[in-house]
Structure 1
Amino acid sequence: MAKVSVSLDAELVVEVMVLTGVGSPQDAVELVVRDYIERGHRTEARTAARDEALRDVDGRQPDVEG
């Protein structure tokens, strides 16, 4: 896998290290980025399921009264 080098503010990296409980700055930032991506995928899956359910409800024929 290709690697990318990014410069970050030291206070930001230390905060990430404390929050993740990881001693390596590289590993801590990588964990945060991976978690962010996974959350995005989970959110997409939830909203897709909700949208599908709404389409099913909207697609039904209305009951005929009378």
Structure 2
Amino acid sequence: MVAKVNISLDAELVVEVMVLAGIGSPQDAIEAIVRDYIARGHRTEARTELKDQSLRELDVKPQDPQG
């Protein structure tokens, strides 16, 4: 069973989210936005991790002699 949390939000904010998300239920609209926000964060972490990994690989490769 998943724990549930009840929160209060400004009605105008919730209506705006419902309109933007195209979802008629306030609960579903807010949940969709929160899930999207979390998924976006995970994608950003994955991209950042790949970039960091490729930068580390560049640092490890021997460099051409300079001079």
TM-score range, shorter chain: over 0.9
Query: Which residue number corresponds to residue 11 of structure 1?
Result: 12
Query: Which residue number corresponds to residue 2 of structure 1?
Result: 3
Query: Which residue number corresponds to residue 46 of structure 2?
Result: 45
Query: Which residue number corresponds to residue 22 of structure 2?
Result: 21
Q: After TM superposition, where is structure 1 displaced by more than 2 Å over at least 4 residues in a row? A: none
Query: Which residue number corresponds to residue 36 of structure 1?
Result: 37
Unaligned runs of 5+ in 2: none
What is the RMSD of the two structures over their aligned residues, measured on CA atoms?
Answer: 1.2
Unaligned runs of 5+ in 1: none
Amino acid of the residue matched to residue 29 of structure 2?
A
- CA drift of 1:40 comes to 0.2
What TM-score comes out, normalization by structure 1 length? 0.94
What fraction of aligned residue pairs are identical, expressed as a percent? Answer: 67
Distance (whole Å) between structure 1 residues aligned to residue 4 and residue 66 of structure 2: 64
